[in-house]
Chains A and B, each alone.
Chain A
Amino acid sequence: MTDSAQSAIRELAPARPTWHVVLVRPETMTFLLLIFGLVGASFLSPFFLDASYILRSFTLTAEMSIVALVLTMVVISGEIDLSPAANMALSACIFAWAQEAGTPLPLAVIVGLLAGLAMGALNAFMSIRMQLPSIIVTIGTLIFYRGLAQVIAGDRSIRVPDSFIGINTIMIAGIPLPVVIFVGVAVLLGLVLGTTVVGRQIYQIGTNQAAALHAGINAKRIKVGLFLVLGVVSAAAGMMAASRLGSVRYDLVLGGELQMVLMAMLGGTYIFGGRGTILGTFLAAWLLVIVSTGMTVANLLPAIQLTVLGILLIVAIIATNFIYARTQR
């Protein structure tokens, strides 16, 4: 059998050499930019190569980075969700409001998670069940969730109990807990996407949903599942942010959705679905931290920092499309 299999595997377009397949991909670009950023930043400030400094900086965006990992899977499946940052704020407000009203802390956490689940369910219902475009649906719910958060919290900060504060000060082997959680979630989701049937099917749905349907793949169920997971994870991330900040306002991670999308895109996730990896988003999350803290260390004006991030996103999208066009003709 091996012989005939060998003889069948021949002719036509020669396969790309292995090194080509392994190296010519958007994640490589992200990785190179990361190294480049590290080297550049350490020139600007010798303190920069201090690992604990980088880790402490990372805890500031760890919550969003965790959400971006799940968002990556949603984008690969061919959908998008722009509401997670608003979901984080609303879940955190509901959580804080519930415990302020006397709900025991564990129960308040569960209430917060359920709120996130409900928000994911609303997104899923409209995007998948009613088949409306998810980009429009989630722009709508982004504003809606943020508005509800303001209704609940008003203009004040709701303090969270002292026992809940300080997730970023808990160290595990010298690494802040939020970073540990981020790495753990990345490994878990990487395994799901790379080695399980569901992971495989997420790529198939994102590549060609009609073909997936014809192959007996339940695209709707998987997409609904992804929206629900994203809702719950956003809520958890919102409460992590509350723990780090010590209080909750309606404008928690205002505008964070763009940073999450930026992470996914920088990591090589294809906006039209079917391509991307958890590794890419993982690297991109570190890249963003290093670039922005590097610029802060260098005393660059916030306006210039924003400009640089914008340029980075544009470069990433051009490179990603170029690489995909060249390698998958």
Chain B
Amino acid sequence: MTPERPMLIEARGISKQFGGVEVLSDVDLDLHVGEIHALLGENGAGKSTFAKILAGVHSPTRGTLKLNGQTVDVSSPIAAQKLGIALIHQEPVSFPDLSVAENIVMGRQGGGLLSRVPWATIIADAERYLDMLGVSLDVNRPMRGLSIANQQMVEIARSLASDSKLIIMDEPTAPLTPREVDTLFAIARRLREEGRTIIFISHRLEEVRMLCDRVTIFRDGAHISTQSIDSISDDEIIRLMIGRTLKKFMRKHVAEIGETALEVSNLTLPGLFEDVSFSLRRGEIIGLGGLVGAGRTDVARALFGVQPAASGRISIGGSDATIEKPTDAINLGLAFVPEDRAGHGIFATLPVEHNLTAAIPGKVAPRGFISRKVERSISQKAVSDLSVRLASLRQPIVELSGGNQQKVILARWLLTEPDILILDEPTRGIDIGVKAEFYDMIGDLAEAGRAILLISSELPELLSLCDRILVMSEGRVTAELPRGEATQENIMQAAVPRSGVAA
């Protein structure tokens, strides 16, 4: 806050190339001792790459790093740990079968190879670090089964155990509930008071504003601006991130609501969801809200035949439908953009073209043989319709940014001309500029008479896009709110489980 604070990190001219492509060019950045510093930027802007360079995951192609005034070489994550730099991943990487205590002291030097494991010290230390964070956890229990929030706490405790001076949090709040976010922020502030420096990467501006002292904006691999958070407005931040002013964040679409496209009654899959009923009409966007793990994705997977429901009825266009596998669903005019893009969506090493046409083999191969010409023209039109940014249709899809990969997956399904579109967290991990494009597209699709089921954890997204919002909690639908009545408050009230306390 006061600019006279001593410097912890001085980065000069940091550049990074991946296979000839410069993803980070000449970044200069200073981090003060005891500040919380936000890194903002669109996906692919270079903020995560920069963070990973600090943490020793990548080594820079050019540039120097100074820590406390001394030039250092952060050649590996272990070197980073020794220098007191810790990276907290969004989805914590831990050893699930080891105890919480072992995970906390992991990586610490512990005598010779054959010396006895000092269990008592390990457990006492682990408890001390968790106490420092104000977290009460049984340190003897295994990591497996801990909530993501608690796993993050263990990672933070681990960074304390190695006495980290710089803690990098890469989108830590995405999988957390609001209450867990509050806890995380309280801990972050306490760490700052102890003189530690925190880098906070997030897409959520309000969180940055609540927590951070200074903000640095990246764009296209370059450092654009570093400012005190109090001296910059949200509009200004967004303008710097995307290089243009965003006129409307979300457009309100008015689609004509038609006949019923999908009707679900008493759909049940024990252990995952129970008694789910709703109907979806053409031109309508229904939101499916709730906390992570409430069973929303499982309902979508059941509708699409990935993991069919045990009982209940699905009727499509007025007649009963049997959906036992995705092919059945596709033939009935369903499309499903899954939440886990890398695991369930893309064929990473295959060309963009092959990814685009994966669900329409009949169209690219009219007589069983693939027609390059037909495939190319279909792909080119799809890519330009959704303005996918890429270098070539033949490049592996994994080379595209997350938002553009997601566009390709959406395009894959639009090519099947579906009547019913299920979108599971379609904008997760996508930067604001591309998000706005997605919102427009979703609205356009509804206007074109398609029925849309939108699963989302972002309340503003649900509130502004959907005609109706269903809220799920612990596998059951706990509320159905028409557009006019839905508010962030009543969605959250329905989403939070009534019995017991959320972890």
Interface string of B365-404 (1 = CB under 8 A from A): 1001110000000001101100111111111101111001
CB distance from B100 to the nearest CB of A (A): 30
In the bound complex, CA of A12 to CA of B400 (Å)? 8
List of A residues within 8 angstroms of B296 by Cβ: none
Closest A residue, CB atoms, query B364: A197
In the bound complex, CA of A195 to CA of B336 (Å)? 27
Indicate if the CB atoms of B394 and A21 lie closer than 8 Å.
Answer: yes
In the bound complex, CA of A210 to CA of B301 (Å)? 12
Indicate if the CB atoms of A197 and B370 lie closer than 8 Å.
Answer: yes
Stretch at the interface among B245-253, B343-351, B439-447: B343-351
A window 206-231: CB within 8 A of B: 207-208, 210-218
CB distance from A76 to the nearest CB of B (A): 12
Closest A residue, CB atoms, query B357: A200
Interface string of A99-117 (1 = CB under 8 A from B): 0000000000000000000
Stretch at the interface among A2-10, A54-62, A286-294: A2-10
How many residues does chain A have at the interface if contact means C-beta atoms less than 8 Å apart?
39
Indicate if the CB atoms of B19 and A326 lie closer than 8 Å.
Answer: yes
Is the C-beta of B283 less than 8 angstroms from some C-beta in chain A?
Answer: no
CB distance from B337 to the nearest CB of A (A): 9
List of A residues within 8 angstroms of B350 by Cβ: 203-204, 207, 274
CB distance from B403 to the nearest CB of A (A): 11
A10 with B391: in contact, given A210-B343, A329-B398 (CB under 8 Å)? yes
List of B residues within 8 angstroms of A215 by Cβ: 326, 358-359, 412
Indicate if the CB atoms of B384 and A4 lie closer than 8 Å.
Answer: yes
Is the C-beta of A328 less than 8 angstroms from some C-beta in chain B?
Answer: yes
List of A residues within 8 angstroms of B336 by Cβ: 214
A329 with B391: in contact, given A196-B370, A211-B344 (CB under 8 Å)? no
CB distance from B351 to the nearest CB of A (A): 10
Indicate if the CB atoms of A8 and B384 lie closer than 8 Å.
Answer: yes
Indicate if the CB atoms of A15 and B383 lie closer than 8 Å.
Answer: no
Is the C-beta of B257 less than 8 angstroms from some C-beta in chain A?
Answer: no
Indicate if the CB atoms of B392 and A5 lie closer than 8 Å.
Answer: no
Indicate if the CB atoms of A214 and B346 lie closer than 8 Å.
Answer: no
A window 291-327: CB within 8 A of B: 324, 326
Indicate if the CB atoms of A200 and B370 lie closer than 8 Å.
Answer: yes
B window 13-28: CB within 8 A of A: 18-21
Indicate if the CB atoms of A5 and B381 lie closer than 8 Å.
Answer: yes
Is the C-beta of B463 less than 8 angstroms from some C-beta in chain A?
Answer: no
A12 with B398: in contact, given A196-B368, A200-B370, A216-B327 (CB under 8 Å)? no
| Most chain B beta-carbon neighbours within 10 Å: one of A7, A197, A203, A217 | A197
How many residues does chain B have at the interface if contact means C-beta atoms less than 8 Å apart?
51
In the bound complex, CA of A328 to CA of B348 (Å)? 9
Indicate if the CB atoms of B346 and A211 lie closer than 8 Å.
Answer: yes
List of B residues within 8 angstroms of A195 by Cβ: 369-370
* Cβ contact of A13, chosen from B306, B348, B393, B395, cutoff 8 A: B395
| Most chain A beta-carbon neighbours within 10 Å: one of B343, B394, B395, B400 | B395
List of A residues within 8 angstroms of B401 by Cβ: 12
Interface string of A187-208 (1 = CB under 8 A from B): 0000000011100110110011
Is the C-beta of B330 less than 8 angstroms from some C-beta in chain A?
Answer: yes
CB distance from B277 to the nearest CB of A (A): 25
List of B residues within 8 angstroms of A214 by Cβ: 304, 306, 326, 336, 338, 344-345
Indicate if the CB atoms of B398 and A328 lie closer than 8 Å.
Answer: yes
List of B residues within 8 angstroms of A10 by Cβ: 389, 391
Interface string of B261-297 (1 = CB under 8 A from A): 0000000000000000000000000000000000000
CB distance from B378 to the nearest CB of A (A): 11
Indicate if the CB atoms of A197 and B361 lie closer than 8 Å.
Answer: yes
Is the C-beta of A173 less than 8 angstroms from some C-beta in chain B?
Answer: no
In the bound complex, CA of A204 to CA of B364 (Å)? 15
Is the C-beta of A275 less than 8 angstroms from some C-beta in chain B?
Answer: yes
Indicate if the CB atoms of A275 and B349 lie closer than 8 Å.
Answer: yes
* Cβ contact of B361, chosen from A200, A210, A213, cutoff 8 A: A200
In the bound complex, CA of A210 to CA of B306 (Å)? 10
Indicate if the CB atoms of A210 and B19 lie closer than 8 Å.
Answer: no
Is the C-beta of A1 less than 8 angstroms from some C-beta in chain B?
Answer: yes
Is the C-beta of B44 less than 8 angstroms from some C-beta in chain A?
Answer: yes
Indicate if the CB atoms of B348 and A216 lie closer than 8 Å.
Answer: no
* Cβ contact of A204, chosen from B330, B343, B354, B399, cutoff 8 A: B354
Indicate if the CB atoms of A11 and B361 lie closer than 8 Å.
Answer: no
CB distance from B482 to the nearest CB of A (A): 32
Indicate if the CB atoms of A9 and B383 lie closer than 8 Å.
Answer: yes
Indicate if the CB atoms of A207 and B387 lie closer than 8 Å.
Answer: no
In the bound complex, CA of A210 to CA of B383 (Å)? 24
Is the C-beta of A174 less than 8 angstroms from some C-beta in chain B?
Answer: no
* Cβ contact of B368, chosen from A197, A203, A217, A326, cutoff 8 A: A197
CB distance from B153 to the nearest CB of A (A): 30
List of B residues within 8 angstroms of A14 by Cβ: 20-21, 391
A211 with B365: in contact, given A12-B389, A216-B359 (CB under 8 Å)? no
List of B residues within 8 angstroms of A217 by Cβ: 358
| Most chain A beta-carbon neighbours within 10 Å: one of B44, B350, B389 | B350
List of A residues within 8 angstroms of B399 by Cβ: 12-13, 329
CB distance from B433 to the nearest CB of A (A): 13
List of B residues within 8 angstroms of A4 by Cβ: 384
In the bound complex, CA of A8 to CA of B387 (Å)? 6
Indicate if the CB atoms of B370 and A211 lie closer than 8 Å.
Answer: no
In the bound complex, CA of A7 to CA of B387 (Å)? 9
List of B residues within 8 angstroms of A329 by Cβ: 18-19, 396, 398-399
A13 with B21: in contact, given A8-B383, A200-B354 (CB under 8 Å)? yes
Closest B residue, CB atoms, query A2: B380
Indicate if the CB atoms of A328 and B396 lie closer than 8 Å.
Answer: yes
List of A residues within 8 angstroms of B304 by Cβ: 214
List of A residues within 8 angstroms of B370 by Cβ: 195-197, 200
Indicate if the CB atoms of A196 and B44 lie closer than 8 Å.
Answer: no
CB distance from A200 to the nearest CB of B (A): 6
Interface string of B31-68 (1 = CB under 8 A from A): 00000000000001000000000000000000000000
Indicate if the CB atoms of B380 and A204 lie closer than 8 Å.
Answer: no
In the bound complex, CA of A328 to CA of B18 (Å)? 11
A window 243-293: CB within 8 A of B: 274-275
CB distance from A17 to the nearest CB of B (A): 10
| Most chain B beta-carbon neighbours within 10 Å: one of A8, A10, A11 | A8
CB distance from B324 to the nearest CB of A (A): 12
Indicate if the CB atoms of A216 and B330 lie closer than 8 Å.
Answer: yes
In the bound complex, CA of A329 to CA of B391 (Å)? 15
Q: Which residues of A contact B (CB under 8 A)?
A: 1-2, 4-5, 7-16, 21, 195-197, 200-201, 203-204, 207-208, 210-218, 274-275, 324, 326, 328-329
A sample of 30 cross-chain residue pairs with beta-carbon separation below 8 angstroms, ordered by A number, consists of: A2-B380, A5-B383, A8-B390, A9-B383, A9-B391, A10-B389, A11-B389, A11-B391, A12-B21, A12-B401, A14-B20, A15-B395, A195-B369, A195-B370, A196-B365, A197-B365, A200-B354, A200-B361, A203-B354, A204-B347, A204-B358, A211-B343, A211-B345, A212-B358, A213-B344, A214-B345, A217-B358, A274-B350, A326-B19, A328-B396
Known: A15-B392, A211-B358. 17 other contacts (CB 8 A): A1-B381, A11-B391, A12-B404, A13-B395, A15-B391, A196-B370, A204-B350, A204-B354, A207-B349, A208-B343, A212-B347, A213-B306, A213-B344, A215-B359, A216-B326, A216-B327, A329-B398
Please give me the 4 A-B residue pairs with the lowest Cβ-Cβ distance, nearest first. Answer: A15-B392, A15-B391, A197-B361, A5-B384
